[in-house]
Amino acid sequence: MISASAFYDIFTAMVPLYVAMFLAYGSVKWWRIFTPDQCSGINRFVAIFATPFLSLRIICSINPYKMNLRFILADTLQKLLILFLLVLWGSFSSWGSLDGVITLFSISTLPNTLIIGIPLLSAMYGVESNGLLIQIVVLQGLVWYTLLLFLFELKAKMVKGPQITVSMGSEVSPVDAQSSGMEVVYFSL
C-alpha cells in the first residue's frame, strides 16, 4: 500500500506537468489565445531548440563508465523483444504494417522519460534513482531514436520507390520513357 506522504510526493511532482498541459490545451481550444500557426511555431521551437538542449544537458551529466550494465541489458532486451514481436505481427498479420510497427514500438518502449519520468521517479524513489533514468534517456537518444529514424527512412523508401528523372527534371513513367527512346536513370538514396 502506498503511504500518504509518498502519494503527496508523487502528486506534487505530477500536478505542475498536468496543469501546464491543461492550460496549453485550453489556451488553444477554448480561449483561442494561440492560433494554429503560433502552435506550429512553438512546436518547431521545442523540437529544434528546447528538446535537443535539454537532452544534451542530461546526456552530458552521465559518466558512461559508471553505467549500470545489468539495467542497460534488461532495458535493451525488453525493447528488442517488443520490436521482434511487432515485426512478426507486422509481417504475418493482416492488420500489420510498417507504420503500425513504428508507432507501437515508439509508444510501448520510448516513454517521455525526460519531461515526466525524471520528476515522477524522483518523487517515488528519491533523487538517487535519477541516475538509472538518465541512463535510459541517454540510450534512447543515441540508440533507439536512431533506430526509429532508420525505420522512418525505410518506410519512406518503400512508399516512394525509385525515382525516374529526365534531362529537364520532370518525372515520367518508365513505360513512357522507354517507348519514346529516353534514357531512364534511377536514383536511389
Using the predicted structure, report yes or no on whether residue 25 has a pLDDT greater than 60: yes
List 163's β-bridge partners, or say none: 187
String of DSSP letters for 49-91: IIHHHHHHHHHHT--GGG--HHHHHHHHHHHHHHHHHHHHHHH
pLDDT > 90: what percent of the chain?
A: 23
More reliable by pLDDT, 173 or 81: 81
- Mean per-residue pLDDT, 105-129: 75
More reliable by pLDDT, 166 or 125: 125
CA distance 104 to 108: 6
* 160, 154 Cβ separation under 8 angstroms: no
pLDDT > 70: what percent of the chain?
A: 81
* 101, 90 Cβ separation under 8 angstroms: yes
Confidence of residue 96 (pLDDT cuts 50, 70, 90): confident
CA distance 22 to 102: 28
Sorted by where each begins, the domain ranges of the chain are 4-160+176-187
> How many residues comprise the chain?
189
Most confidently modeled range among 45-54, 74-83, 89-98, 124-133 = 74-83
Average pLDDT for the chain: 80
Confidence (pLDDT) at 187:
43
Confidence (pLDDT) at 184:
44
- Mean per-residue pLDDT, 144-165: 80
Cell digits of residue 3 = 503511504
